[in-house]
Amino acid sequence: MDRHIMHTTDPPCESTGRFAVLVMLTGGPDPGTSGILDLCDTDTNTIDLFTVLGGSPEPGGVWFPMLNSGTGVYDPSIDPEGTYTYTVSSVNTCPDASSTVTVTISPEPNAGSDGTLDLCSDNNSVNLFNSLNGTPETGGNWSPALASGTSIFDPSIDTSGVYTYTVNGQAPCNDATATVTVTVIPFLDAGEDSVVQICDNNGTIDLFNNLGGTPDAGGTWSPALTSGTSVFDPLTDAAGIYIYSFSGNAPCPDNFASVTVTVNELSDAGTNATLELCSNDTSIIDLFDSLGGTPDIGGIWSPALASGTGIFDPTLDSQGIYTYTIVGDTPCPNASATVNVTIVPEPNAGTDATLEICDNNGTIDLFNSLGGTPDIGGTWSPALNSGTGIFDPTLDSQGIYTYTILGSSPCADASATIAVTVTPFISAGLNGNILLCSNDSAVDLFDSLSGAPATGGTWSPALTSGTGIFDPSLDPEGTYTYTISNSGSCSDDSATVVVSIITAPDAGNDGVLELCDTTNTVDLFDSLEGTPDIGGVWSPALASSTGIFDPNADPEGIYTYTIASTCGNVSATVTVSIANSIDPGNNGSLELCITGTTVDLFDSLLGTPDTGGTWLPALNSGTGIFDPSIDPEGTYTYTVESNLSSCPNASANVIVTIIEEPNAGTDGTLNLCGATNTVDLFDSLAEYQNSGTWSPALASGTGVFDPNIDLEGAYTYTISNICGNASAVVTVSFTDLNDAGDDGTLDICSNDSPVDLFDSLNGTPQPGGFWSPSLNSGTGLFDPNVDAAGTYVYTVFSGEGSLCPDDSASVTVTLAPIFSAGSDGNLDICTGDTNPIDLFDSLGGTPNTGGIWSPALNSGTGIFDPTIDTPGIYTYTVTTVACNVTDEATVTVGFADIPDVSSMTLSIDDIVCFGNDVVVNIDGANQLADGDYTIVYEISGVNVSSNTTTISVISGSSSFTIPQNLFPNSGLSTLTLSEFYFAGEFCNADTSAINTIEIVIPDIPTPQINEDGANFCEFDDPTVANLTENIISGGTIIWYNQPNGGVAYSETDLLQDGVTYYAALQSESGCESNIRLAVTVNFIDCVLELIIPDGFSPNGDTINDDFHIVNLNELYPNFKLSIYNRYGNILYEGDITSNRWDGTSKKSGKILPVGVYFYILEFNDGTRSPLQGRVYLSR
């Protein structure tokens, strides 16, 4: 605003007149104050310089130099940096005014672009800066820091990873970063050359372990070894130089090392073998025949056998490992093979047992419950959930479990059972707490238990209620234990309730005061029940003005005692009554005979008793009338009751005595068996009374009878009292002792006639006794054809009433054994077998030794020598001389041929798939005549079995099929032909030279499908090929309509909702998965959803090269999409007709830098509001 000032000046010397001057001040233009604008050279947003000026500049000025916008708007992409002057022109006499804005554009720091660096671990150090792309500035920093402290990377110290190079920016420019991803490839060391010398049967060796230095694994060997690995097999691989190398491990160089292998020949002691004998086997065996392979003769056995040769005698030699050694030629070591001789004991499964457990006992090993001393390693049936013998009562059912120990041939299996009973556990619940007031009502402690307690338990300590009802007025606070009794093996269960009681004011409980006289005063407080607190007041007031009741001043009635409390007033009353006087008379007595008449007990009381009292115990008359035939003797109390219950009743007693009729007992008898000791005749009476007399009198003067003095006869016992006399008689007689004779023996043959055992007793036995155990004759007649040998007891006893003890004697009967020659047997000897054989071992049954053979053998014993003795029937005869009995059995000896399989070979197809039968081809058996043969083949490795089949050989060739069920496991199995016979015959060919076959069944895994791989949109018409796309396992997938077998689908077949498809993974060899993947297709209603990515990478690789919002065109066809940078500058606008944003600016077409950009998506559907978000652009 302009201001106008008027000033009048008067000089010191005044003129005669005064001059007036009017001064007017006008404000000049305001351009603001100068400002500074710092920009980064990557900034593209325009800026109005006017906004940079300080103060409050006036608009309307001009800028110099002129900006390209023609205004004050500065465009950093066009206008240069420098000082721009803003001038505001004056509109009056004041001069124009100016201010400046200094614009500075700082260069953006350049760290280059990301790079990669591959190094070998033995490379020299490198400068990571040289691996950055672009034109990075020097002087930046590396993170994480390198060991060098600079950008020098040392692969022997620094680790692989991402290293970030940062160039600090000058404000306002941000720091710039770029990374170098370093991969250090380990240098692969092939080691150092070496030489190895082995013998041809040392077994395989790993050449890798013979390399010098410290070689790395994973290299290749040249020439290739038969194993396909580094394992050298002297039986299949040739001696020579083998090169171990690493190549193609860029950037690391190739590396080589060699192993020179020399193979020397070794002596052959055969192969290790086992020989199992039963503990009762007595046949001698040449251990040499048990060695595998083709051992050289002339070796020695260690430890030495009793025979001094290789002959093993199980009756003399112990089981163990016997080593056969052939001394080797230098440099090869001695060759040895072992025969592990095992004498197999009978398997022991223990004895049957029972086991009772509680279902909360936890697991238990059934093995520990078996009786006896069972062997470990058996199996349980039915199988337990643990897969072992561990029984879990929460998983396994009670019942009978059988433990089986497999017997090693020739011993049979053994079994024992455990009958398991599981008792359910009953819970007492969990601990609880309860807080009560001392005047609260009673509560049930059961309701304070936690968990799920069962009813029916007991509480300890016991509550006053006798149940679980807690009465705080009666029961003390504390811990109360609730116990549930379990049955069987289940232990009792307990839980506690901790009861806390807050003490409330206590006025006591109502009381009664009954005064039996009016003599003394009484404090009513003492008549309150319980434990009342002091300090209360009485109502109505007593004459004493306290609680003292004076029966001469205060009336009967109810007096209330009240204590006031913050918990409420509590009261109790005392009801006061005054009693009348009573008189029951004085004590008396009464004596009656049990047959006497009735008497009134009242008449027996002394003094002057009041009538109307009661008698206790009550009489049968219901009154005081006593009937001696009904009422018992004793003390009867007559009581006159007070009219007040607290006043004592008055009582007097009448003591009644009843005299019983005399009883001398019942008649008895006494039979004395040759006795010399005294006997009390009272013991022969029953229910007698004491104090009687005996007649005639005994020598003892009492009832004691002395058989040495007193005579047989009748003795009368008499007792008397006021009711009369009573007598009883004991008749005494004498009897001699019983005699069964003395023990005897009887030796008899089973073919003898029956014999009376009585005749074998010694001494002078009485006849008429009985035998135990009873004989088949029903008497003492022993028949050796029917009755068993043993001890028979003869017993003689007296008649009823006799005191003489029974007497016994025994006869021990022994049956002479009848020797057995066993049963007929056969002995088949193979042609060329020269070993002598004991014909006794070919007899059946259990023959006795000591017999003779006919015709006689050259050995003079039962030893048959096939080089001397002829085939035929040989009879074995044993005689029981004592019983004149002879028994015979025969052995039929025959010779048989051995098949020649020396040139036979086995072969199979190269590829065997899981679930397929294996066909084994037999060739080269040209020495065999056409016909049928029985073979035994063994499968070992991951599958184990022994199998017998019959083949037909024609022109030296045959085949047989191994069913697929014998190969339940994938992996390596070995087929060995162990036995070869003529069909129906017994001579086994030497199969040791026949080759074994390795059968490799590949383990093709079951394919896997992604989590939602079975779900498909209903209207997409999905095919089997779409189902295959969801499989996450690599390889060829074949789909079938069944889990096994079935028909394969075509990839173009349409999927059906709810149908289960079965996928098999097929290997390059054509084998499929052992187990197919079952997938049930599920068609779902698919609702389109808007899917907005959080980033994209327009780098020209055709993958994710633009910002694609999935389903946008379909759901919102009227949309509009706008993209902005962080400064709010719009970079892209598009709709359904536009190309998607590809990461360039719409104005300049320039490729935009990596970073975060912002979008606004307008749906324009009249419903949904615009959506804002961010998207990351990467390259």
Give the whole-angstrom CA distance, residue 50 versus residue 56.
10
Q: What is the pLDDT of residues 218-275, one digit of tens each?
A: 888 888 888 888 888 888 888 888 888 887 677 888 888 888 888 776 778 899 998 8
User: Cis peptide before 773, with omega less than 30 degrees from 0?
Assistant: yes
| pLDDT at res. 673 | 72
- Classify domain 194-264 at the CATH topology level: Immunoglobulin-like (2.60.40)
Region of poorest pLDDT, from 253-267, 476-490, 589-603, 973-987: 253-267
Strands 1130-1134 and 1120-1124: antiparallel
Cα angle value 253/259/263 (rounded, 5°): 160
Model confidence at 732: pLDDT above 90: no
Helix (H) or strand (E) holding 1070: none
Model confidence at 161: pLDDT above 60: yes
| pLDDT at res. 9 | 42
Residue 566 binned pLDDT confidence (cut-offs 50, 70, 90): low
Domain ranges of the chain: 1-106, 115-185, 194-264, 273-344, 353-423, 432-502, 511-578, 588-659, 668-735, 744-816, 825-896, 905-997, 1015-1084, 1095-1177
Read off the tokens for 989: 């060919």
Residue 1087 binned pLDDT confidence (cut-offs 50, 70, 90): low
**Count of Cβ atoms closer than 10 Å to residue 883 Cβ:** 18
Here the contacts of 62-69 (C-beta below 8 Å, separation 24 or greater) are 62/86, 62/87, 62/89
- Cα torsion 626, 628, 630, 632: sign: positive
Q: What is the pLDDT of residues 891-901, one digit of tens each?
A: 999 888 889 99
Model confidence at 598: pLDDT above 70: yes
Give the whole-angstrom CA distance, residue 1141 versus residue 1124.
12
Percent of the chain surpassing pLDDT 90: 33
Here the contacts of 598-607 (C-beta below 8 Å, separation 24 or greater) are 598/625, 598/626, 598/627, 598/628, 599/625, 599/626, 599/628, 600/624, 600/625, 600/626, 601/625, 601/626, 601/636, 601/638, 601/654, 601/656, 602/638, 604/654, 605/638, 605/652, 605/654, 606/652, 607/583, 607/652
- Classify domain 432-502 at the CATH topology level: Immunoglobulin-like (2.60.40)
- Classify domain 1095-1177 at the CATH topology level: Immunoglobulin-like (2.60.40)
DSSP designation for 1024 = H
Q: Check: CATH 3.30.420 for 588-659?
A: no
List the one residue out of 132, 160, 136 whose CA is nearest residue 146. Answer: 160
Percent of the chain surpassing pLDDT 70: 96
Model confidence at 329: pLDDT above 70: no
Q: What is the pLDDT of residues 764-788, one digit of tens each?
A: 998 988 999 999 989 989 998 889 9
| pLDDT at res. 1158 | 94
Q: HSE on the CB side for 1150, CA within 13 Å?
A: 9
CATH class belonging to 353-423: mainly beta
Residue 495 binned pLDDT confidence (cut-offs 50, 70, 90): very high
Give the whole-angstrom CA distance, residue 1074 versus residue 912.
12
| pLDDT at res. 6 | 43
Rounded to the nearest 10°, the torsion over CA 43, 49, 55, 61 is: 180
Phi, psi of 684, deg, nearest 5: -95, -5
Inter-CA distances, 116 with 111, 131, 178, 183, Å: 15, 7, 11, 8
If you count them, how many residues does the chain have?
A: 1179
What's the average model confidence in pLDDT over 61-73? 87
| pLDDT at res. 1 | 40
Model confidence at 87: pLDDT above 60: yes
What's the average model confidence in pLDDT over 739-743? 89
What's the average model confidence in pLDDT over 591-619? 87
3-class DSSP state of 1158: strand
Q: What is the pLDDT of residues 516-528, one digit of tens each?
A: 777 788 988 888 8
Model confidence at 1086: pLDDT above 60: yes
Give the whole-angstrom CA distance, residue 125 versus residue 352.
78
| pLDDT at res. 1138 | 93
Order of all β-strands in the sheet with 931-941: 945-953, 931-941, 971-982, 997-1001
| pLDDT at res. 239 | 83
What are the helix (H) ranges across 655-727? none
Rounded to the nearest 10°, the torsion over CA 212, 217, 218, 223 is: 30
Q: Check: CATH 2.60.40 for 273-344?
A: yes
Residue 28 binned pLDDT confidence (cut-offs 50, 70, 90): confident
| pLDDT at res. 41 | 80
Give the whole-angstrom CA distance, residue 436 versus residue 478.
12
Read off the tokens for 546: 């306290």
Model confidence at 328: pLDDT above 80: no
- Classify domain 905-997 at the CATH topology level: Immunoglobulin-like (2.60.40)
What's the average model confidence in pLDDT over 575-591? 85
| Phi-psi label, residue 646: left if phi above 0, alpha if psi -120 to 50, beta otherwise | alpha
Place of tokens 């009560």: 436
List the one residue out of 530, 486, 520, 480 whose CA is nearest residue 500. Answer: 480
| pLDDT at res. 5 | 38
CATH class belonging to 825-896: mainly beta
| pLDDT at res. 840 | 93
- Classify domain 115-185 at the CATH topology level: Immunoglobulin-like (2.60.40)
As a whole number, the mean pLDDT across the chain is: 87
Strands 885-896 and 931-941: unpaired
CB 795 within 8 A of CB 766: no
| pLDDT at res. 22 | 54
Residue 1172 binned pLDDT confidence (cut-offs 50, 70, 90): very high
- Cα torsion 865, 866, 868, 872: sign: positive
Residue 180 binned pLDDT confidence (cut-offs 50, 70, 90): very high
Give the whole-angstrom CA distance, residue 980 versus residue 953.
12
List the one residue out of 716, 705, 622 whose CA is nearest residue 665. Answer: 716
Give the whole-angstrom CA distance, residue 415 versus residue 410.
16
Model confidence at 907: pLDDT above 80: yes
CB 192 within 8 A of CB 210: no
Read off the tokens for 761: 């007793």
Model confidence at 576: pLDDT above 60: yes
Specify the CATH number for 1-106; select among 2.60.220, 1.10.287, 2.60.40, 2.40.420.
Answer: 2.60.40
What's the average model confidence in pLDDT over 908-935? 89
- Classify domain 744-816 at the CATH topology level: Immunoglobulin-like (2.60.40)
Model confidence at 410: pLDDT above 80: no
Task: Name the β-bridge partners of 864.
Answer: 837
